[in-house]
Amino acid sequence: MSVCVESDLRSVGVFPVAVAIDVYTPAEVFVENGTTATLTCSFKSKEVISSLASVTWSFLPEGDAGNPTNFIYYGDGRVFPISLPQFISRAEWVGDLNKKDASIRVTRVQFKDNGTYVCDVKNPPDITGQPSIIKVRVVMKESLPQSSTAVIVGGVIGAVIGIIIISVVMYLIIRRQVPRRDYEGCTSVESVSSQNTRVGKKVESSTDNSSCSSPSAPLQLDHSGSRSSFHKMEPVVYADIRKN
């Protein structure tokens, strides 16, 4: 019956359309020895996820040239027993097909776990498509590459410290270049010893007797009774008056 229907479709120029499913994984993952590794796998399907959807994970040790060996199979809403002794009690299903997530987790990662991991998803009738491959590198902690987040954070911290240092240096340079404007009070050239000068010498004006003058004359309260009345104190010139 189906052969006849297909032949009828071909006779009128109609061909069945194969639906492809897209599977995505990171190309390479670095894992610290002895820690837990989560191998992420997602997929895109145009069909509604049904109970017929299935996920198969397989593993090929590093250096081997054979075919990968299946070790996790998820189907009909449950995980089947792990078939590869290497991953028994260490590999587990952590995905959710309703969220199009087919990820697994491997605990207590060892150096023998280095190799190629293959994620293959089927969602009938969406069954065609290529599986996705992950290269897992198990290394010591010192050999772990820095993540992009750590690099960004380090760069931001370095930039902030650099700005602070530049600001402090500029502040010190500007502070040194600003001249000091300390006011030094006027010192009278005329001292008490002027009393011993020759009698008859005319005393010069107060402007000549001072090395400098006050920037402004001090204000003195007018004692006439008005609180708002002020007048400037006039400089007093002292002179020796010759007695006749």
Instruction: Assign residue 45 the CATH number of its domain.
Output: 2.60.40.10
90 is a domain residue: yes
Alpha-carbon gap, residue 121 to 129, rounded angstroms: 9
Give kind and range of the element (H or E) at residue 150. Answer: helix 148-177
In a domain, 134, yes or no: yes
Residue 195 maps to a domain? no
Per-residue pLDDT reduced to its tens digit, 220-231: 444 444 444 444
- The boundaries of the domain holding residue 85 are 31-139
Q: Which helix (H) or strand (E) holds 176?
A: helix 148-177
Q: Is the pLDDT of residue 35 over 90?
A: yes
> Contact, 39 vs 134, CB < 8 A?
yes
Does the pLDDT at position 183 exceed 70? Answer: no
The predicted-structure confidence for 123-178, as pLDDT tens digits, reads as follows 988 888 899 999 999 999 876 666 555 556 667 788 888 889 998 888 888 888 86
- Domain-located, residue 59: yes
Identify the pLDDT of residue 110: 94
Say how far apart CA 128 and CA 157 lie, in whole Å: 49
Cβ(122)–Cβ(54) under 8 Å? Answer: yes
Nearest to 91 by CA among 99, 100, 82: 82
Q: What does the mean pLDDT of the chain come to?
A: 74
pLDDT value for 142: 77
* CA gap 209, 203 in Å, rounded: 9
97 touches 114 (CB < 8 A):
no
Per-residue confidence band for 195, with pLDDT thresholds at 50, 70 and 90: very low
| Predicted local distance difference test score (pLDDT) of residue 9 | 34
Residue 8 covered by a domain: no
Domain count, the chain: 1
What would the mean pLDDT of 199-226 be, rounded to a whole number? 46
Flag whether 119 is in a domain. yes
Residue 6 pLDDT level (bands cut at 50, 70, 90) = very low
* Domain-embedded: residue 16: no
Q: What is the mean pLDDT of residues 182-192?
A: 46
The reported pLDDT for the residue numbered 3 is: 36
Q: Is residue 86 a part of any domain in this protein?
A: yes
